Amino acid sequence: MGASVSDVRALLDAAHKGFSSLDCVQSFNLLVDGLAAINRVVGNEIFVSRVTPMCRSHAIWELCQQEPVTRHAIKKPRGYAGDAELIDYYYGLSGPQPTDTPLGRQLYRGVYSRSGGESLRWRRALLARCIDNVADRWGGETEIMSIAAGHFREGQLSQALAKQRLKRILCFDQDRASLKEVRRSFPSGPVETLTGSVRTLLDKSSSPLGHFHLIYAAGLYDYLEARLAARLTARLFSMLRPRGRLVLANFAPETSEQGYMCAFMDWHLKYRSEKEVDAFCAELGGSDVARKKLFRDEPGNVIYIELVRA
């Protein structure tokens, strides 16, 4: 492979040695950035088949599992790596426990402070602003749908929701545990929950969910194949009211944590370029789209597409 076995071992050995220092965050960043560089050289297929097994057989593997986010991803308590409980760690709403080691606590600081975590926190704030902006326009008639809503933590930042200036927010997710947390966080008011999958959304024979002024999917598209992403986009767009907005997000190939996520967290996303995100619109009628906007977040890791229905 383009990066030799000795290069990978040297990186793992150097990071492992650095973990014994008083401040191991620098060594953690060395590990993450080194894995990203190797991933760029060898490509994802070889990285998964050759580099990942080397990481998991090295002594540094057990040290990284002391870090709570990494450990949570590997254990997959809800059956998948990027669950809503894990995202709460990046938000700072969860963190190391008294039983975690000093090394695990320091490594958590490293995970939290990386730009991928900044992108998740930026996304949460953006979605809250989207909710508030739509509510400013439509007032008490505003209806919103969050797809793969997770714990709906952006709701905690929304001024419109706090002031009850919305008619309805439907939180849709396949994870019943996530929706249970949504109901705990928002026991009254306009927030509703519904359990379902992408298949549920695409099934036109299922019960209609209504039409919305805003629909967004913050983390779902990172896991969808391209054709399914285009089909779902067309379906969600059809559920918008006139002048309604659809906001979709996808992590970009430049995300520096992807090598570490793959090797140490068993967390695999479908990273996409602007052109590939724009292809979400492949099944839309051009005359139905009043406005389309592609942009990246400030950390540069996530690509957004915003569509406004005519």
Cβ count within 10 A of residue 91 = 17
Mean pLDDT of 267-287: 95
Residues 72 and 66 sit within 8 Å (Cβ to Cβ): no
Alpha helix segments (H runs only) across 166-298: 176-185, 198-202, 226-238, 258-265, 274-278
Question: Given the structure tokens 């298949």, which residue do they identify?
Answer: 199
Calculate mean pLDDT across residues 50-78. 97
Residue 1 has pLDDT above 80, yes or no: no
Does residue 12 carry a pLDDT above 70?
Answer: yes
- Average pLDDT on 214-228 reads 97
The pLDDT value recorded for residue 3 is 64
Q: What is the pLDDT of residue 109?
A: 97
pLDDT score at 133: 98
- The chain-wide mean pLDDT, for the chain, equals 96
Q: Is pLDDT of 5 > 90? A: no
Are 216 and 147 within 8 A, CB to CB?
yes
| pLDDT for the residue 204 | 81
Model confidence, pTM = 0.96
**pLDDT band of 131, cuts 50, 70, 90:** very high
The pLDDT of residue 301 is above 60: yes
In angstroms, the CA 87 to CA 120 distance is 8
Q: Label residue 164 exposed, middle or buried (CB < 10 Å: 0-12, 13-18, 19+).
A: exposed
Predicted pLDDT of residue 2: 59
The pLDDT score that the predictor gives to residue 287 is: 81
Instruction: Give the domain ranges of the chain.
Output: 1-64, 117-309
Indicate the CATH number for domain 117-309.
3.40.50.150
| Mean pLDDT, range 298-310, rounded to an integer | 98
What would the mean pLDDT of 82-87 be, rounded to a whole number? 98
Beta bridge partners of 139: none
pLDDT of res. 38: 96
The pLDDT of residue 104 is: 97
pLDDT reading at 152 higher than 90: yes
What average pLDDT does range 271-280 have in this prediction? 98
User: Which residues does 203 contact at the CB level (< 8 Å), separation at least 6?
Assistant: none
Q: What was the pLDDT predicted at 90?
A: 98
Q: Is the pLDDT of residue 48 over 60?
A: yes
pLDDT at 111: 98
Residue recorded with tokens 């599992």:
65
Mean pLDDT, rounded, for 118-144: 98
Percent of the chain with pLDDT over 90: 94
pLDDT at site 266: 98
Q: What is the mean pLDDT of residues 297-305?
A: 98
Using one digit for the tens of pLDDT, what is the confidence trace for 175-212? 999 999 999 999 989 999 999 999 999 998 777 899 99
| Interval 284-305 mean pLDDT | 95
pLDDT score of 21: 79
Are 195 and 231 in contact, with CB atoms under 8 Å apart? Answer: no
pLDDT bracket for residue 253 (50, 70, 90): very high
pLDDT of 45 over the 70 cut: yes
- Mean pLDDT of the region 3-16: 88
